[in-house]
Amino acid sequence: MARKRRGRPVHGWFILDKPLGMTSTQAVGKVRRGFDAAKAGHAGTLDPLASGILPIAMGEATKVVAMAMDGAKAYRFAIHWGEERDTDDAEGQIVAESGERPTQAQIEAALPQFTGEIEQVPPAYSAIKVNGARAYDLARGGESSELAARLIRIDELRLLECPEPDHAVLEMICGKGAYVRGVARDLGRLLGCYGHVSELRRTRVGDFDESMAISLDKLEDMGHKKALDDLLLPVEAALADIPALAVTGPEAERLRFGQAIRVPHGVEGTVYATTDGRPVALAEIHAGEVRPVRVFNL
């Protein structure tokens, strides 16, 4: 007999401004306990040394986490020149050093090589699986693993400032799977000066941005469950780029039971079906037939 899940049936998105020094899993745990939610997960890991946007899905919103993660992400970060580290950030051990420092013009001239679709080798300390084990677990255990280069997309990479010779501050907008730490490492190598990420903040995930973000301090100060629930964004907030399909009550019932319905030809692909303004299911339309993929129990 399945064990009954503890907590309330809370459904929606909480956009956390994750503080430094906390893992994404720890952050999800704090938010879940704050809401007393039965189920929660996050859309895109942030390292402990990174702050910023961490969308946390609760209840039925966990069914669309993958779609939130597929959205574009924006980062603001600082590169410390002169040192490459095994983690590609300030937490790791120095593995290479240089006395060279790039000029602003040299940095800007190199950036076009990191935009568009490019190949990137993920950092050794990453969540990529190697023969069933996480790369960071292997690295921490002293095992070296050759990670294959992957095709990623970087839509924009621009230099914001060079506050002093040892540091540069940049902004990046990218697709899923791109590592800021990998960009810092590879840019440092290209410029002949080495580099690693010394500060990192995520400012956007899909349609979730800093204007929606709430700190843990505010979450803890509010305390009252009703007040917290008012901070939630609806499940469909992660589906802004997916067409909505209005269906009747009887059609909604068919979809909820995993049955297909028919609509006039013209619309093809992924949609989310709604009735009375509430999401019913993610679905695929082909040749006028709507087949549910994920059903929402709302």
Q: Which residues are part of the catalytic machinery?
A: 47
Nearest CA among 155, 89, 148, 79 for reference residue 120: 148
CB of 64 within 8 A of CB of 295? no
- Residue located via tokens 């994404």: 24
DSSP string, 8-24: B---EEEEEEEPTT--H
SS3 292: strand
Nearest CA among 204, 200, 211, 110 for reference residue 159: 110
For residue 170, with 0-12 CB atoms within 10 Å meaning exposed, 13-18 middle and 19 or more buried, which class applies?
buried
Please give the Cα distance from 207 to 249 (Å, whole number). Answer: 29
